[in-house]
Amino acid sequence: MDIHALQQIVHKTRDARRKQTIAKFSPADRDQLIHKYHPDFRASAYRPIRFGPNEGEKTVVELATLLEGDSPIHDDLDLTPQYQTDVLVIGGGGAGCAAALHAHGAGTKTILATKLRLGDSNSVMAQGGMQVSVAPEDSPVTHFLDTLKGGHMENDHALLKVMVEEGPSIAKWLLELGVLFDRQADGNLHVKKGGGSSKPRLVTCSDYTGLEIMRVLKDEVLNQKIQLLEFVAAIELLSDDSGACTGAIFKDLDNQRHVVVAAKSVILATGGIGRLHIQGFPTSNHYGATGDGLCLSYRMGAKLAHIDTFQYHPSGAVYPEQLIGALVTEGIRSEGGQLVNAKGDRFVNELDTRDVVSSSIIRECEEGRGIRTMSGRVGVWLDTPILNVEHGAGTVEKHFPAMMLQFERFGIDISKDPVLIYPTLHYQNGGVKIDTNSETNVKNLFVAGEASGGLHGRNRLMGNSLLDLMVYGKRSGLTAAGRAGSMKQGKLTLEHLERFRAEAKQHGNVSGVISPMILPAYTRKAG
Amino acid sequence: MATDDSQNVIDQPEVMKPRMATIEIAGKKVEVPEGITVIKAMWYAGIDVVRGIGCLGGFCGACATYYRTKDDPKVKTCLACQTAVQDGMCFTMMPPFPARKATYEIQKLQDPKQDLFNFYPEAPLCRNCNACTEACPQRIDVREGVWKAVFGDFKSVSEMFMDCVMCGMCTPICIADIAPNLVALYVSRAQGAHFVEKPIGLDTRIKEIQDGRFNDEWNNILKMNDKELAEHCATVK
C-alpha cells in the first residue's frame, strides 16, 4: 500500500490517543516482557568466551569471536617508539577529548590518537541531552536511584555515585568553555524529562547536544595544541614485565605503517560495538564503532563487565531505506511523541526505559501488528505530528531541527507524517571494568566512556552517556596525569601477547580471526 | 495475539526492482542501484573509504562531497551519507581543506567582539557573493551569519550555527578567504563563555554537594541491602 494510506490510521486515532494514559509496567510484567522479547535474551545469539579474563561467561557470538581473535602483530616487530608521552589517549570522541584536555591541563605531555578524525564518534550524534540533577526538586541521590532502577539494580554503586555527584560541576566546566545549553527565561538551565527518569534532568542544546559539546571540545583540543595522531588505529597495547601498560602500537591507515608510542599511562576511549551488527541489527553508531578497545584490553588481561547486555534504542528509522538504523531521538517521545501499531493503538508508556520500550515494539511486530517494508523490515509508527497538536504549530521544527532536516532530505516531513521505527543497536551497556579513577585491573591502563563497563548496569538511561564520557574522561585524565611525574617510562614488550597466544593455543583457537576489526567491511568485493 | 500483517506493507517499487543508475565517482563511470546513498554507492563500486566517513548520521561533517546532476552545470555540495544517488550524477569527495584556524584561550578573552578582528581579520572582507550560503548542506544562512558576527550580534550567530556540522564546505568557495564555520565556532564559544547569564541554580547545586547536603540520604541508601534498595527505588516516582 501507499505509505500515506498506511499512515492514515495514525492521523485518525490521534485525538482519541491524546487523552489516553498508559501505565508503566510493574517490575514483574517488565521482566516477563524483556525475557520474552529483548534481544539480550535470545539464547542462540550467545556463547561462552573460551579463555581469557572472562572465560566461561557468555556474550554475543560476534563479540566473543573478536575477543578470542589473534593480534595482527608479529613477535619480531621493532618496538622502538616513534613517540614518547606521559599520557596516551586513544579515541577522539567525547571521553577521549575530555581525558586529553584534563591530562594536558594538569601539565603533562599528552598525545591523542584516533583512527578517524578528531571528534568522529558517537558522541557527536547524541541528541537527547546530558543528565545533570540541577532542578531544585531533583538531587544527585534521585539521579542515582533512577539510574539504578533503569540498570536493573546491577550498576556499580561507587562508579554511579561519582558520576551523579560530579554532574553539576561538569556542566559548569562545559559552560565555561562556551557550550550553549538551552536556558529557561530566568537564565537557569532548561531541563527536559527523559525515559526512565523521575525528574526533568536532561540539559540540552536543542537536538544537537552532542554536536555542540563536541564542536567545543574539538576546538579546545586544537587551541591547547595537544599533539594529535589522526587516521592511526590502535592494534595492540604494550606491557612491561610486571604486566602494566606502557604504550600502544598503531597502524597508520594512510600508509599502513606501524607507529609505536611509549606512554606512562594509556587511556582507551574507543567507544562501542554497533558496527559489529550484533544479531543482524542495523545500528545508530558511527563508522568506527567496532569494539577495538575491548579486544585490546582483553588481551592485556583486563576484566570485562556486563558484556552480555546491549542497548537497542527503541526508535531507529526503518523507512526510507537510506536512513535505516539512524536514530530518531528519544527527545520526541520525551515531548509526547506516541508509539502506534498498525491498528492505531498505543501499546507501551513511551517514557518507560529503553529496554522495555524496545521489547514492546518487537512484541508488536512479532505478533503481526507492525508495518512492513518491501526490503523485509518491519516497524511501528512514531507519531511525530502529535507534538505540533499538543504544543502548538512549529514545535517539531523548533525543537528537532536535526530530525526535520534528516528526513526532509529524502522527501519526508516529520511534522506532518509519522515515522516508521524499529529498535536499532545503539550502545554497549557493559565494557572494560573500571574503578572510580577509571582504571582497569591492568596497572596504568584506563578506560573511559562507552568502552568501560559497570556504571550503567544492564540498561543505560537516556542522557547518562554524555555525562559518563565527561566525568570519567576527566577522572582518567587527571589520575593518569597525577601519576606521570613520579613515574619512569616502563619497558615496551609484548609479554602479555605471548601469554594470550599461549592460552589461545591451549584452547585450540584456530578461528583465524584477527582483531581489532578497525573498520567494518562494507565494500562489495565482487560484482 | 498474532494477527495478519500482510496488508501492512509499504509500496517500495525501487526496492522490489532496483533501477540501476550510471554515475561517475571521481571521474570513473560505474553502475549502482539508484537511490542508495553516495557513501553506499562507493562501497557498491568496490571503493574502500577511510577518509570521508565519520558518523554516517549527518552530524560529523566528515563526508563533504561535491556533486553535479545530469546536464546541470551547477556543482553542488552535500553530505555523502545523507544524499541519494540518481542516474547521471557525478561526485567527488572534498579533500581536507587547509583552512587557517585561529587559536585562543576562550576564557581569558578581554573583549571577544573586538578580538574577532585579531583572530580572523579577513571576516569583515566578505563581498556578499553568497556562495557560502549556497554551499551549506545544513541550510544555514552563512553569509548573513558572517555579517552578524562582524557587527557583533554574537547571539544570533550562535543560534544560526547550532546546526553547523563543521563540514567546511563554506570555506573553499570563499573569495575573501574567510572560513565562516571557524568564525562562527569562535563567535558561538565566545557567546557561551562571555555573554550568557550564569545559571544560579547550577552553582547552588554544586555548593550543596560540596557542603554535604545529601550526605544523610547517601548514608541511608548505601547501607541498604539489595532488597531494601530495590524497594526504595520503587518508591521514587
Quote the pLDDT of residue B92: 97
Chain A residues with beta carbon closer than 8 angstroms to that of B46? 523-525, 527
Q: How far apart are CA A365 and CA A359, in angstroms?
A: 10
Confidence of residue A292 (pLDDT cuts 50, 70, 90): very high
Examine the pLDDT at A21 and tell me if it is beyond 70.
Answer: yes
Q: How far apart are CA A56 and CA B111, in angstroms?
A: 61
Q: How far apart are CA B225 and CA A332, in angstroms?
A: 37
Buried b (16+ CB within 10 A) or exposed e, A416-445: ebbbbbbbbbbbbbbbbbbbbebbbbbbbb
Cβ–Cβ below 8 Å for B51 and A208: no
Which among A120, A171, A343 is the nearest to B55, CB-wise? A120
Same domain? For A216 and A232 the reply is: yes
- Rounded to the nearest integer, the mean pLDDT of chain A is 95
Residue B232: closest CA among chain A residues belongs to which residue?
A: A145
Chain A residues with beta carbon closer than 8 angstroms to that of B164? 215
Looking at the complex, does the CB of residue B99 fall below 8 Å from at least one CB of chain A?
Answer: no
3-state SS, residue B31 = strand
Across the range A234-263, mean pLDDT stands at: 97
Which domain, by its residues, includes A185?
84-309+429-494
| Ramachandran quadrant class, B88 (left: phi over 0; alpha: psi -120 to 50; beta: rest) | left
The shares of helix, strand and coil residues in chain B, as percent rounded to the nearest 5, are 40, 10, 45
Quote the pLDDT of residue A78: 97
Which among B37, B193, B234 is the nearest to A176, CB-wise? B193
3-state SS, residue A366 = helix
**How does DSSP classify residue A470?**
H
3-state SS, residue A437 = coil
Same domain? For A319 and A462 the reply is: no
Same domain? For A303 and A350 the reply is: no
Task: Convert the pLDDT of each residue in A378-414 to its tens digit.
Answer: 999 999 999 999 999 999 999 999 899 999 989 999 9
Confidence of residue B13 (pLDDT cuts 50, 70, 90): confident
Looking at the complex, does the CB of residue A43 fall below 8 Å from at least one CB of chain B?
Answer: no
Whether residue A72 is preceded by a cis peptide bond, meaning omega within 30 degrees of 0, is: no
Residue A313 is a catalytic residue: yes
The CA distance from B237 to the nearest CA of chain A, in Å, is 5
Residue A333 is a catalytic residue: yes
Classify residue A69: in a domain, yes or no. no
Quote the pLDDT of residue B8: 87
Same domain? For A360 and A473 the reply is: no
Examine the pLDDT at B16 and tell me if it is beyond 80.
Answer: no
Q: How far apart are CA B154 and CA B165, in angstroms?
A: 18
**How does DSSP classify residue A462?**
T
Same domain? For A215 and A98 the reply is: yes
Confidence of residue A509 (pLDDT cuts 50, 70, 90): confident
Alpha carbon A26 to its chain centroid, in Å, reads 28
Percent of chain A with pLDDT over 90: 91
Same domain? For A94 and A198 the reply is: yes
Q: Which H, E and C letters describe A394-416, residue by residue? A: CHHHHHCHHHHHHHHCCCCCCCC
Same domain? For A293 and A348 the reply is: no
Same domain? For A177 and A323 the reply is: no
Which among B40, B162, B200 is the nearest to A188, CB-wise? B200
Chain B residues with beta carbon closer than 8 angstroms to that of A371? 5, 8-10
Interface test with chain B among A181, A211, A347, by most B beta carbons within 10 Å: A211
Same domain? For A132 and A27 the reply is: no
Residues 6+ apart with CB under 8 A from A393: none
Residues 6+ apart with CB under 8 A from B115: B104, B109, B190
Examine the pLDDT at B129 and tell me if it is beyond 60.
Answer: yes
Across the range A43-47, mean pLDDT stands at: 96
Classify residue A44: in a domain, yes or no. no
Classify residue A273: in a domain, yes or no. yes
Classify residue A511: in a domain, yes or no. no
Quote the ipTM score. Answer: 0.96
Classify residue A421: in a domain, yes or no. yes
How many residues in total does chain B contain?
237
Bridge-based pairing of strands A83-90 and A258-268 is parallel
Task: Convert the pLDDT of each residue in B157-210 to its tens digit.
Answer: 999 999 999 999 999 999 999 999 999 999 999 999 999 999 999 999 999 999
Quote the pLDDT of residue A451: 98
Confidence of residue B1 (pLDDT cuts 50, 70, 90): low
Q: How far apart are CA A360 and CA A351, in angstroms?
A: 12
CA distances from B94 to A149, A254, B51, B78 (A): 47, 17, 10, 10
Q: How far apart are CA B42 and CA B58, in angstroms?
A: 17
Classify residue A97: in a domain, yes or no. yes
**CATH of region B13-93, choose from 3.10.20.30, 3.40.50.300, 3.30.379.10, 3.30.70.870:** 3.10.20.30
Same domain? For A333 and A237 the reply is: no
The CA distance from B194 to the nearest CA of chain A, in Å, is 8
Classify residue A176: in a domain, yes or no. yes
Domain count, chain A: 2
Examine the pLDDT at A526 and tell me if it is beyond 80.
Answer: no
| CATH code, domain with A168 | 3.50.50.60
**Looking at the domain covering B106-194, what would its CATH class be?**
mainly alpha
Examine the pLDDT at A508 and tell me if it is beyond 90.
Answer: no
Q: Which residue has the higher pLDDT, A206 or A163?
A: A163
Closest CA to A306 of A260, A257, A272: A272
Quote the pLDDT of residue B108: 97
Residues 6+ apart with CB under 8 A from B226: A153
Domain ranges of chain B: 13-93, 106-194, 200-235
The reported pTM is: 0.96
A204, amino acid identity: T
Task: Convert the pLDDT of each residue in A105-137 to its tens digit.
Answer: 999 999 999 999 999 999 999 988 999 999 999
Task: Convert the pLDDT of each residue in B47-85 to its tens digit.
Answer: 999 999 999 999 999 999 999 999 999 999 999 999 999
The CA distance from B230 to the nearest CA of chain A, in Å, is 7
For chain A positions 247-306, those within 8 Å of chain B (CB to CB) are 253-254, 284, 286-287
**Cα maximum dimension of chain B:** 73
- Rounded to the nearest integer, the mean pLDDT of chain B is 95
Whether residue A320 is preceded by a cis peptide bond, meaning omega within 30 degrees of 0, is: yes
Same domain? For A270 and A123 the reply is: yes
Classify residue A352: in a domain, yes or no. yes
Q: How far apart are CA A182 and CA A190, in angstroms?
A: 6
Same domain? For A136 and A238 the reply is: yes
Q: Scan for cell 532488597, then name that residue.
A: B227
Q: How far apart are CA A269 and CA A257, in angstroms?
A: 22
Confidence of residue A248 (pLDDT cuts 50, 70, 90): very high
Residues 6+ apart with CB under 8 A from B13: none
Looking at the complex, does the CB of residue A309 fall below 8 Å from at least one CB of chain B?
Answer: no
The CA distance from B155 to the nearest CA of chain A, in Å, is 10
C-alpha cell at B85: 544517488
Task: Convert the pLDDT of each residue in A341-376 to its tens digit.
Answer: 999 999 999 999 899 999 999 999 999 999 999 888
